[in-house]
Amino acid sequence: MTEQRRGLSRRGLFGLAGAGVVGAGLGTGVTAAVAQGSSTDSGAAASYPFFGDHQAGIVTPAQDRLHFASFDVSDISRNDLVELLSDWSYAASRMTAGLGAGSYGPANGPYDSPPDDTGEALDLPPSGLTITFGFGPTLFDDRFGIADRRPAALIDLPHFPGDALVDNLVGGDLCIQACSDDPQIAVHAIRNLSRIAFGRATLRWSQLGFGRTSSTTRAQVTPRNLFGFKDGTANMRAEDTAEVTKEVWAHSADGASWMAGGSYLVSRKIRMTIETWDRTSLREQETVIGRTKGEGAPLSGGTEFTAPNFAALGRADVPLISTDSHVALAHPTNTGGATMLRRGYNFVDGNDDLGRLNAGLFFICFQRDPREQFVPIQLNLAKNDAMNEYVRHVGSGIFAVPPGAAEGSFVGAALFDA
Amino acid sequence: MTEQRRGLSRRGLFGLAGAGVVGAGLGTGVTAAVAQGSSTDSGAAASYPFFGDHQAGIVTPAQDRLHFASFDVSDISRNDLVELLSDWSYAASRMTAGLGAGSYGPANGPYDSPPDDTGEALDLPPSGLTITFGFGPTLFDDRFGIADRRPAALIDLPHFPGDALVDNLVGGDLCIQACSDDPQIAVHAIRNLSRIAFGRATLRWSQLGFGRTSSTTRAQVTPRNLFGFKDGTANMRAEDTAEVTKEVWAHSADGASWMAGGSYLVSRKIRMTIETWDRTSLREQETVIGRTKGEGAPLSGGTEFTAPNFAALGRADVPLISTDSHVALAHPTNTGGATMLRRGYNFVDGNDDLGRLNAGLFFICFQRDPREQFVPIQLNLAKNDAMNEYVRHVGSGIFAVPPGAAEGSFVGAALFDA
């Protein structure tokens, strides 16, 4: 059944229709985890459908592993771009259902062509894989006839004070966020989508991550970042449907109607100077963060989920929570209500030539309008955050994440409607 | 109880005695997994004792994640080196038991010194952490008075045909292999051991890995490498105690009596040119490997665990398993009986400037004598293996892995006996 669609697209890879691929009881709601497979580990067997009103991987409970990739589109036509998005959507619908991108053998046999799947995820359960596609500002230049459909919210990010961006870690025409509880599954997804894009789009930068830096459900223990502090205590929760509707999903009334039900993704690769941090006193660390290291309680007292009291004063009438602490600057009560859905991951990319771990936070957030959410929050942090002494923003991206694809269609179809 | 030892070593970090740290029912056998903690995931709660006859992380069932690090020792004295190994052993005994490297606050308070643990593993279970230490050939130069104790088996590896080694991915005075089922736990271990080494040893290179490329127990499904093929079908199994005793552990009679119960580790960072591989026909892929991609059966027929029949001929009397296939060259029946205990991991380190994934296999093997095991096997592969077209060896290391430390002592103590 899963092999009934054998027609390849013009590039000799995949075609459009996804018939029969994810129909087998997977439903279409983006938040419903469907257990399948024979693994005894229910986490590994978790599966999220690809098709639906919203793309998966936004409000989906954050999986443990990330492979994020940014692509530059080659010198191809508008039709070729549509075909690429169709091929990607088809392959993504298969992989998120626990299937290969195609057959691990050549779909049309015999043995004398390359396999349609690279094979390293054979025998493995879907492991909660989600694949989320986004469109960068440069996709809306004059190449594909969509310049007039660029959403106003898909801005070029401003320069932030202290930015130390590295050219080849910035931007991209397209992005793919692959999340899974198994790194081999996330890597397999990006690898096969890169392979399918051969000749049409090229990897610009990519990032692996682990752990979770936002607790997207209140039921979880709040994960810790590589500063060793709980990260995400006061963040928006993915199950707060009313807040997600108001703050995460784009609406028709926002303009760019093809984006209704989509969202805007901002990514920042934030290197931490952890060797310096590790030689800093606990007092300094807690002052910078504004919370205790063990419990994660605000320095104004209480426990982790006690609301911070920014007015509380200590000795010499100094605020217990420093005004330039991260929690003071980032807390929704101090950002004029601006908030975002965070979905970041820790990373370690080996070490640099000085023997320092190349480590930090790959920050990802989703929001309805970066002009009102990420940008003002980050401007304030970049100017004032005491944490700036210990971080360096080296990578950056902004992408319009279209709504979910209808079954048999592809991600972003409405953008290309005549 | 776990905090009773508060004396810091001269460097202001950790001291030697590990009293009270792992006594709480953890035993001393290296193969016994002890469930503890409150996680419902028994894998996450697995814990292996640090002290014992052999170091853990060799015959321990391979965990899912790796952080491997190589260090250069700074300009310090023999006593400083001993103190470093003592501090490392103490911290390792704590971390493998699910504790911090030290207190997450300063051990002697108040708040005005750095924490003795970086904190990102607080709240997390031990997740099967093992920490394995090794000594490189350069440790036995004239700095530490141990030149005459260098084991003959700890050779300088020869140049192999096709080697494309990158200077800063080769060698090291010391190595640490940290394996865990949680990458945050493995990273936490290397980070804290690096921190403890500050001023005494510097990270030279480090590598994260995932998945397992050797099935160290017959009970597991054989994992796949990034070529998409099962890897490790015919390998030595860690539970074959007789074979491990004969092929993995160093014996007193081998010379270098301080190494009895230890082993020799060879690491190779093997980059795969996966984009080229992915555009190769299934026929070519299977011919190169000598096995089918799906089942992993030898091309002479049968199923995965059927013994390959290298004499079986096909059309035109050509061997069904090509004589330059990987399985033909690496199979124990064709290496004069030479064999090793493999423990490799897949890696993906982002992508290079051409948009190719920087991915491959971080190969690790343990053996009694590399002169009789890794070297002849690799020489033969390097000369003849059809797979060489798709791999490039960019990193390399060889380390003497001492026997396990007795409780309260440190790894390598016998090397420094007067």
Are A38 and A47 in contact by the 8 Å Cβ rule? The answer is no
B206 to chain A: which residues are within 8 Å by CB? 350-351, 357
Partner A contacted by B408 (CB < 8 A): no
The pLDDT value given to residue A184: 95
B122 plus B64 within the same structural domain:
yes
Which domain-ending residue is among B210, B227, B258?
B210
Q: What is the residue whose two structure tokens read 């005459």?
A: B148
Beta-sheet pairing, B201-210 with B391-401? unpaired
Mean pLDDT of B365-394: 96
Largest CA distance in chain A: 81
Distance from CA of A22 to the nearest CA of B (A): 22
- Residue B330's CATH number: 3.30.70.1030
Of B279 and B232, the structure prediction assigns the larger pLDDT to B279
Is residue B3 situated within a structural domain?
no
Partner A contacted by B283 (CB < 8 A): yes
Neighbours of A295 (CB within 10 A): 13
B201 plus B127 within the same structural domain:
yes
Partner B contacted by A357 (CB < 8 A): yes
Partner A contacted by B350 (CB < 8 A): yes
Is residue B160 situated within a structural domain?
no
Cβ-count burial A62-85 (b if 16+ within 10 Å, e if not): bbbbbbbbbbbbeebeeebbbbbb
B69 to chain A: which residues are within 8 Å by CB? 351
Question: Could you give the CA distance from residue B228 to residue A104 in angstroms, rounded to a whole number?
Answer: 9
State yes or no: pLDDT of A1 exceeds 70: no
B319 plus B239 within the same structural domain:
yes
B65 plus B186 within the same structural domain:
yes
* pLDDT, tens digit, 9 for 90 and up, residues A55-68: 999 999 999 999 99
User: Out of B191, B282, B355, whose CB is closest to A106?
Assistant: B282
Is residue B154 situated within a structural domain?
no
Of A334 and A218, the structure prediction assigns the larger pLDDT to A334
Partner A contacted by B228 (CB < 8 A): yes
Distance from CA of B349 to the nearest CA of A (A): 7
Partner A contacted by B315 (CB < 8 A): no
B194 plus B281 within the same structural domain:
no
Q: What is the residue whose two structure tokens read 């098709």?
A: A51
Partner B contacted by A70 (CB < 8 A): no
B99 plus B70 within the same structural domain:
yes
B307 plus B206 within the same structural domain:
no
Question: Could you give the CA distance from residue A137 to residue A141 in angstroms, rounded to a whole number?
Answer: 8
- Residue B67's CATH number: 3.30.70.100
CB contact under 8 A, B283 and A112: yes
What's the mean pLDDT when you consider all of chain A?
87
Question: Could you give the CA distance from residue B213 to residue B222 in angstroms, rounded to a whole number?
Answer: 8
The pLDDT value given to residue A13: 40
* pLDDT, tens digit, 9 for 90 and up, residues A220-233: 678 999 999 998 88
State yes or no: pLDDT of B4 exceeds 80: no
B371 plus B224 within the same structural domain:
yes
Cα distances (angstroms) measured from residue A306 to each of A295, A297, A298, B290: 11, 7, 7, 62
Question: Could you give the CA distance from residue B84 to residue B14 in angstroms, rounded to a whole number?
Answer: 9
How confident is residue A335, by pLDDT bands cut at 50, 70 and 90? confident
A184 to chain B: which residues are within 8 Å by CB? 210-211, 224, 346
Partner A contacted by B291 (CB < 8 A): no
The pLDDT value given to residue A217: 53
Partner A contacted by B115 (CB < 8 A): yes
Number of domains in chain B: 2
User: Out of B122, B210, B350, whose CB is closest to A206?
Assistant: B350
Cα A33 off chain centre by:
19
Are B102 and B117 in contact by the 8 Å Cβ rule? The answer is yes
B291 plus B397 within the same structural domain:
yes
Is residue B6 situated within a structural domain?
no
Partner A contacted by B409 (CB < 8 A): no
CB contact under 8 A, B202 and A228: no
Is residue B376 situated within a structural domain?
yes
Please tell me which residue of chain A has the smallest CA distance to B285: A114
Is residue B155 situated within a structural domain?
no
Question: Could you give the CA distance from residue A366 to residue A236 in angstroms, rounded to a whole number?
Answer: 11
Which domain-ending residue is among B210, B234, B261?
B210
Partner A contacted by B123 (CB < 8 A): yes
State yes or no: pLDDT of B307 exceeds 90: yes
B91 plus B63 within the same structural domain:
yes
**Residues whose CB is less than 8 angstroms from the CB of residue B413 and which lie 6 or more positions away in sequence, other chains included:** B85, B405, B406
Least confident interval from A25-34, A286-295, B88-97, B171-180: A25-34
H or E segment to which residue B365 belongs: strand B357-367
Which domain-ending residue is among B187, B210, B233?
B210
The pLDDT value given to residue A216: 52
Partner B contacted by A278 (CB < 8 A): yes
CB contact under 8 A, B357 and A194: yes
User: Out of B65, B183, B229, whose CB is closest to A119?
Assistant: B229
The pLDDT value given to residue B25: 30
Q: Is B291 exposed, middle or buried (0-12, 13-18, 19+ CB in 10 A)?
A: buried
B203 plus B227 within the same structural domain:
no
Query: Can you give the residue range of the structural domain that contains B110?
Result: 43-143+171-210
Distance from CA of A155 to the nearest CA of B (A): 26
Is residue B57 situated within a structural domain?
yes
B179 plus B244 within the same structural domain:
no
State yes or no: pLDDT of A14 exceeds 80: no
Among candidate residues A323, A350, A348, the one with its CA nearest the CA of residue A334: A323
Least confident interval from A187-191, B21-25, B205-209: B21-25
What proportion of chain A, given as a percentage, has pLDDT over 70?
Answer: 86
Are A351 and B203 in contact by the 8 Å Cβ rule? The answer is yes
* pLDDT, tens digit, 9 for 90 and up, residues B54-64: 999 999 999 99
ipTM for the complex? 0.89
CB contact under 8 A, A119 and B278: no
B221 to chain A: which residues are within 8 Å by CB? 123
Is residue B157 situated within a structural domain?
no
